[in-house]
Structure 1
Amino acid sequence: MSSNSSQFDMFETQTEHPTPASPVVASPAKRKPKQDSEEETLARQLEQTGRFRILRKLVPRNIINRADSQFDKLAVLIDTETTGLDHATDQVIEVGAVAFTYSDDGALGDVVGVFSGLQQPSIQIPAEITRITGITNEMVQGQSLDLEALKNMVEPADLIIAHNARFDRPFCEKLSPVFVTKAWACSVAEIQWAAFGFEGSKLGYLVGQAGLFHNGHRATDDCHALLEVLARPAGGANTVPFSELLKSSRKSRIRIYAENSPFDLKDHLKKRGYRWSDGSDARPKAWWIEVDESDYESELHYLKTEIYRWKDAEPLSVKLTAVERYKK
């Protein structure tokens, strides 16, 4: 790990312990408690008028020794910044990760490790990527990721979480084989954010509507931000989004390929949520969709009656668990 990158050992002992499963963001250590109290009082007074909405600065949680956490399960939030969107040709320029404990019933525990690192690609970082991420060619000059440290964090994890796992997983698997056999969950695709009262699933929307702001588009900062959004009760039932994500990750889904479907019915498939695969990623060249196992029979019925119009049609179907989902 280069000098410009920071690494916290997930088994490092810390002197301060946050309250387990608490979604409350800790106060900055440099501020005086009295100043914090006065500012919070002013913020609440403004909010109580009904004419203001206050965003509070997101402060990362303290890191504790994993052995001191009351929960035994381990999840790792991960985010990558890259030179572009193509898994085949583009390269990772930054990785951020936050490891935290959780319980089987979806209670979120403690942060036990943080990883942050930059890497110099073999090509110049496009200007548009620098505009979005703030990462320049000068920042990554001579930098390389400490892949051994990243492996040590990920290896004991029960679940890997990304905010768009379909994008991050292939890039992570190119970095290290430790990601290949892990169960993955996607906090975009597997949480019904609208049902929780959010107006969109982009991380910036989620953070803002959770009453926070942060330094967006840097990998580790985004991981800290996603953790807080996942931890804060939301919706009319005050459900913790992480618990919903955990339930979803444990369900099997089935990917159905509507091979050889009539061309003039492509708009029907697209409207129903099917996506097009051009066959370049070793998948069939066809429209496809992923559904819960409970919805599989009804989706087959739709294809047989509305698309193929042949009762004996048997479209290719592949069962996916969290270990297979979001692979390239």
Structure 2
Amino acid sequence: MAYNYNRFPLELIPEIIAHPEDYRIQSRVPYARFADEQVLPVIFRETPEPVQSLVFLEMVTTGGRRQDVILELVMVKCSCLLSTGEIVSVDRMYRGFEAPRYPIPAYITRTTGITVESINGMSFDYRTVDSMLRDDPIIVSTRGRTAREFFERRFSSFSGYRWVDSVHDIRWENLNDRLISGATLQMNCERLGFFFRYNSIREAVFSNLWLFSYIKGSIAELIAASSHVEYMVWAFTARFEVKEELKFNGYLWNGEQKCWCKRVFTEEEVKEEQEYLRGKCSSPEAIKIEVLDSRKKHG
């Protein structure tokens, strides 16, 4: 029997009653309705206290290659208290489309419903995007580095913002034992008993925002992640014969810079890597250290 998965199968209630152990009921993410209704802004609480602006961002692209482009962009702006992390308002949403210069892959159309015809002649509203970012918000996305690369390639003047990868930068398992760091947004919502339409990035944006409002301490972790510092160790002119050893020790070849690099997280690790590389590069000057904060590290 074929089911419409967008509605609850009422005809199965007798079977559910007879065998409840074989079924599980999930609720739609509460904020997902904001994707359907023109209800913004939503003010949860008026407050004179200082607030931090957040922009939750998701996108649909034609693929993951450098030459691919953004087809759909959704940005939702909200405000949270710096003192407690409480989200006090969901302020506005921008949803835009942009027609590509070449055909949209069939699998993208099957997943999203976006066709060349449906977005023909459309382009993103630069002024609206600019207004969403004018007060230097923290940008939050489930796609982290990839989203940032696509966004800054399309909007080159909007670089240098703080970005947080909500999948990998938040230690979800420390905040709730039912959640997993590195798990998809869909999986973590399901582990809490909620679902959203995963093929709608509008629902994904609001569901990500809801998860942060639902899990105590997650906004504080997000703000902390936005100021977290990492380090990139660059090894220029490393001897050819040590390349396998470098790979074994976690170094990656950077084709653009023509050198080896490794990301580390403490000053002590930086010192250890500098000492490790001294005999493998042509000179101490060939070892460079780049400090990465959230304005750089996902770029």
Scaled by the length of structure 2, what TM-score is found? 0.76
Distance 2:42 2:210 in 1: 20
Superimposed CA distance per residue, residues 190-229 of structure 1 (whole angstroms, 9 cap, x where no aligned partner): 1123444434422221221232111213332211111112
Question: Equivalent of 1:249, from 226, 233, 257?
Answer: 226
Question: Equivalent of 1:161, from 132, 140, 151?
Answer: 140
Matched, 1:225 2:203: no
Distance 2:44 2:204 in 1: 26
Distance 2:275 2:21 in 1: 54
Where do 5+ consecutive residues of structure 1 fail to align?
A: 1-38, 234-238
Alignment coverage as a number of residue pairs? 267
Superimposed CA distance per residue, residues 31-56 of structure 1 (whole angstroms, 9 cap, x where no aligned partner): xxxxxxxx9xx9xxx9xx88764311
Matched, 1:95 2:73: yes
Tell me the CA shift for residue 57 of structure 1: 0.9
Conserved? CA contact 2:104–2:116, under 8 Å: yes
Question: Equivalent of 1:297, from 263, 268, 280?
Answer: 268
Distance 2:270 2:21 in 1: 46
Distance 1:50 1:157 in 2: 49
Matched, 1:56 2:27: yes
Distance 2:259 2:280 in 1: 18
The structure 1 segments of at least 4 consecutive aligned residues displaced by more than 6 Å after TM superposition are 65-68
Conserved? CA contact 2:30–2:210, under 8 Å: no
Give 1:97's aligned amino acid: M
Where do 5+ consecutive residues of structure 2 fail to align?
A: 1-9
Tell me the CA shift for residue 130 of structure 1: 2.3
Matched, 1:174 2:153: yes
Residue equivalent to 1:36: none
Distance 1:248 1:83 in 2: 29
Residue equivalent to 1:6: none
* Cα distance change of structure 1 residues 264 and 289 upon mapping to structure 2, 3 Å threshold: closer
Residue equivalent to 1:212: 194
Distance 1:55 1:227 in 2: 18
Residue equivalent to 2:3: none
Distance 1:245 1:67 in 2: 20
Superimposed CA distance per residue, residues 69-103 of structure 1 (whole angstroms, 9 cap, x where no aligned partner): 4253211011121111123x111100001111012
Q: Which has the larger displacement, 309-318 or 256-265?
A: 309-318
Residue equivalent to 2:289: 317
Distance 2:271 2:112 in 1: 43
* Cα distance change of structure 1 residues 289 and 246 upon mapping to structure 2, 3 Å threshold: farther
* Cα distance change of structure 1 residues 310 and 136 upon mapping to structure 2, 3 Å threshold: closer
Conserved? CA contact 1:231–1:240, under 8 Å: no
1:99-248 map, 5 Å: 99-105=77-83, 106-177=85-156, 179-195=158-174, 196-197=176-177, 198-199=179-180, 200-233=182-215, 239-248=216-225
Q: Which has the larger displacement, 204-213 or 189-198?
A: 189-198
Conserved? CA contact 2:43–2:88, under 8 Å: no
Superimposed CA distance per residue, residues 248-274 of structure 1 (whole angstroms, 9 cap, x where no aligned partner): 11122211124427212144223xxx4
Give 1:322's aligned amino acid: S
Conserved? CA contact 1:155–1:178, under 8 Å: no
Distance 1:182 1:264 in 2: 36
Give 2:259's aligned amino acid: A
Conserved? CA contact 2:60–2:72, under 8 Å: yes
Give 1:227's aligned amino acid: L
Superimposed CA distance per residue, residues 287-310 of structure 1 (whole angstroms, 9 cap, x where no aligned partner): 433333xx22234315634x6557
Conserved? CA contact 1:80–1:94, under 8 Å: yes
Alpha-carbon RMSD: 3.1
Superimposed CA distance per residue, residues 296-325 of structure 1 (whole angstroms, 9 cap, x where no aligned partner): 2234315634x6557995631101222222
Same amino acid, percent of matched pairs: 21
Residue equivalent to 2:5: none
Distance 1:194 1:127 in 2: 37
Conserved? CA contact 1:304–1:310, under 8 Å: no
Distance 1:326 1:286 in 2: 19
* Cα distance change of structure 1 residues 67 and 214 upon mapping to structure 2, 3 Å threshold: closer
